[in-house]
Amino acid sequence: HCLADSWPILTRPWFLKWTNYIHGWQDRWVVLKNNTLSYYKSQDEREFGCRGSLCLSKAVITPLEFDECRLDISVNDSVWYLRAIDSEHRHQWINSIELHRAESGYGSESSLRRHGSMVSLTSATSGYSTTSTSSFKGHSLREKLAEMETFRDILCRQVDTLQKYFDGCADAVSKDELQRDTIVDDDEDDFPNTRSDGEFIHNNNGSKEKLFQSLSPKDINGIDFKGEAITFKATTAGILATLSHCIDLMVKREDSWQKRLDKELEKRRRIEEGYKSALSELKKKSHFRGPDYEEGPNSLINEDEFFDAVEAALDRQDKIEEQSHTEKLRIQRSSPVPPGDVYSTMGSHRFADKPHSHSPLIVTPPHEVHRFSSEVEEMVQNHMTYSLQDMGGDANWQLVVEEGEMKVYRREVEENGIVLDPLKATHSVKGVTGHEVCHYFWDTDVRNDWETTIENFNVVETLSENAVIVYQTHKRVWPASQRDVLYLSAMRKILANNENDPDTWLVYTWLVCNFSVDHDNAMPTNRCVRAKINIAMICQTLVSPPEGDREISRDNITCKITYVANVNPGGWAPASVLRAVAKREYPKFLKRFTGYVQEKTSVKPILF
């Protein structure tokens, strides 16, 4: 755990922290303790002291809306840009920091209000309001609806009772009328000395009897009609009162939500104004460089500023490279090293057998068979078939750079907004062979001697004597994201003829092809953008036969180089910037690399 014993909830202390423009996001071990946030390069470094810390008493924590993993923590002018593993990780840390500050006595009013609103929202989802309906405590809409259900049941029962009462009354009236008619019609002749007086009859003896006896059915004897009417009136009054109460609740709830909506709209308006103001201020501060200016769809830097920043970064790298090269030359002059021999096959000799001028193209088989052998063969055949073709035809190659013997061509290709321009360069170099050029291009032991764009690399797997899988990360050129590449590099020797110039011997064609592969030991990470490559360095050795019996010297040999590159840079960078960088960097790379080969081989025997 990264916290004290009372903070066991945070079991993921790793964050990506923005370090600088060169290294970008780096893994850091973050610790929250004693109202202080500290970070270390790793957990093992904790005993040596932290690399930085922030006091949380006045810290401002800002979770970014456009990046659900981003978290900025600032104290005055000091800002930590952090990226969590996921949104849940960020939410967990924000809550823990706020709780830590509250328990330490440094909780802010905003944090208290936020906790209060969370409780209110939780209560609202449970059906009970604790904020907007505080004056109606215990009388929420749900309770009022339950009361309405009760009133409905009471009214239903009353209606049933009254209906039975009225049905009984109707039956009684019908039976009374029927009995009256029967008595009058049937018994009139049996009572000649009697006379009828309304509801009574007068007998001969002078007595008076009630003519009709009211029928009282059981169903209506026990009904208190007046009581039922009073109850009905009270029930309907209760319904009306409850409806009025519900309307009041809804009006208050509506007012509460309207106030919240107005506050949110006002908050949004202030945030938008603040964003526009901050963006305007940031654009005025050309020296300001944070992670929000990096490559991506949300980048705050426009295309022209992006290109200027990249060009400035490349100029700085060129200056550093020139100083480093000058220092190396000074050391070499002060302590010369005897020329060594790094080749397995070498010699300076006359050719015993000149290749037949009509011999077909022969590709030698690989020295060893491995699981990528078929892919290597396919790449070699494709490059020998298509990469050596002329620039004419319908390929639509455009000449973008011409410097002496070197020409660089490009075809503009885009896919989903990503520049995939195939590039092809031709160059002729005096005094070196194709084997020598390919050897130095392929050999990882000397990679750092001439390659200036690589930050680090390692051989992931050795497949054969002339085939390896390499993982390398390139130096970041701000504001573009850092790139890494995982590729298979294979070197092959190819025997060919030279039908164009019979006076010049074409000895061997050597080829190095580098193409992207997948490997379990170098999976992509969120620190770098994984680029995909398909590159070939095809080198043909041309020998002008010396006069007489003199031995072949480096003055008699020329290496014809064809360099082709198909690169998918991935990520999100402006197309114009990528094309401008390619136009600038590829010629520099070829001149720098071939000059390095000439320098390294000038005092060595010729390697054919």
Query: In percent, how much of the chain has pLDDT > 90?
Result: 21
User: Has residue 263 got a pLDDT over 80?
Assistant: yes
Higher pLDDT, 341 or 546: 546
**Which residue bears the tokens 């009354």?**
169
**Which residue bears the tokens 């032991």?**
445
**Model pLDDT for residues 149-173, shown as the tens digit of each residue:** 777 777 787 788 778 777 878 887 7
**pLDDT for residue 503:** 56
**pLDDT for residue 489:** 96
By DSSP bridging, strand 529-530 and strand 483-495 are parallel
What is the three-class DSSP state of 451? coil
User: Has residue 189 got a pLDDT over 70?
Assistant: no
**pLDDT for residue 531:** 92
User: Has residue 128 got a pLDDT over 50?
Assistant: no
Lowest mean pLDDT among 166-180, 235-249, 371-385, 570-584: 166-180
What's the CA gap between 240 and 238, in Å, rounded?
Answer: 5
Q: Facing residues of 429 across strands?
A: 559
Range picked from 294-308, 437-451, 486-500 for highest mean pLDDT:
437-451
**Model pLDDT for residues 9-44, shown as the tens digit of each residue:** 445 788 888 877 566 778 888 998 888 889 998 888
The pLDDT of 196-208, averaged and rounded, is 50
User: Has residue 513 got a pLDDT over 70?
Assistant: yes
Which fold, 14-104?
PH-domain like (2.30.29)
Higher pLDDT, 399 or 307: 399
User: Has residue 2 got a pLDDT over 90?
Assistant: no
Query: Where along the chain do its domains lie?
Result: 14-104, 138-264, 373-602
User: Has residue 535 got a pLDDT over 90?
Assistant: yes
Mean pLDDT computed over every residue of the chain: 75
The DSSP secondary-structure symbol of 202 reads E
**Model pLDDT for residues 294-327, shown as the tens digit of each residue:** 666 566 666 777 777 777 877 877 787 777 777 7
User: Has residue 46 got a pLDDT over 50?
Assistant: yes
Return the closest-CA partner of residue 384 out of 533, 539, 505.
539
User: Has residue 520 got a pLDDT over 60?
Assistant: yes
The pLDDT of 551-572, averaged and rounded, is 90
Higher pLDDT, 357 or 366: 366
Lowest mean pLDDT among 92-101, 143-152, 379-388, 462-471: 143-152
User: Has residue 392 got a pLDDT over 60?
Assistant: yes
Task: Enter the pTM of the model.
Answer: 0.51
Higher pLDDT, 483 or 205: 483
User: Has residue 119 got a pLDDT over 90?
Assistant: no
**pLDDT for residue 213:** 46
Residues 546 and 553: beta-carbon distance below 8 Å? yes
Cβ atoms within 10 Å, residue 30: 22
User: Has residue 487 got a pLDDT over 60?
Assistant: yes
**pLDDT for residue 500:** 55
User: Has residue 65 got a pLDDT over 70?
Assistant: yes
**pLDDT for residue 234:** 80
Residues 18 and 46: beta-carbon distance below 8 Å? no
Which helix (H) or strand (E) segment holds residue 61: the answer is: strand 60-63
Cβ atoms within 10 Å, residue 256: 15
User: Has residue 185 got a pLDDT over 60?
Assistant: no
In this structure, whether the domain defined by 373-602 belongs to CATH 3.30.413.10 is answered with no
User: Has residue 231 got a pLDDT over 60?
Assistant: yes
What is the three-class DSSP state of 114? helix
Q: 229 Cβ partners below 8 Å, 6+ apart?
A: none
Going by pLDDT thresholds of 50, 70 and 90, the confidence category of residue 378 is very high
The pLDDT of 529-550, averaged and rounded, is 89
Lowest mean pLDDT among 114-128, 391-405, 520-534: 114-128
**pLDDT for residue 131:** 33
Higher pLDDT, 469 or 392: 469
Q: How far is CA 586 from CA 54, 407, 429, 440, in A?
A: 45, 10, 16, 17
**Buried/exposed 561-582: b ≥16 CB within 10 Å, e otherwise:** bbbbbbbebbbbbbeebbeebb
The secondary structure of 468-525 as a DSSP string is EEEEEEEPP-TTSPPEEEEEEEEEEEEE----S-TTSEEEEEEEEEEEE---TTS---
Cβ atoms within 10 Å, residue 7: 15
User: Has residue 115 got a pLDDT over 50?
Assistant: no
User: Has residue 5 got a pLDDT over 60?
Assistant: no
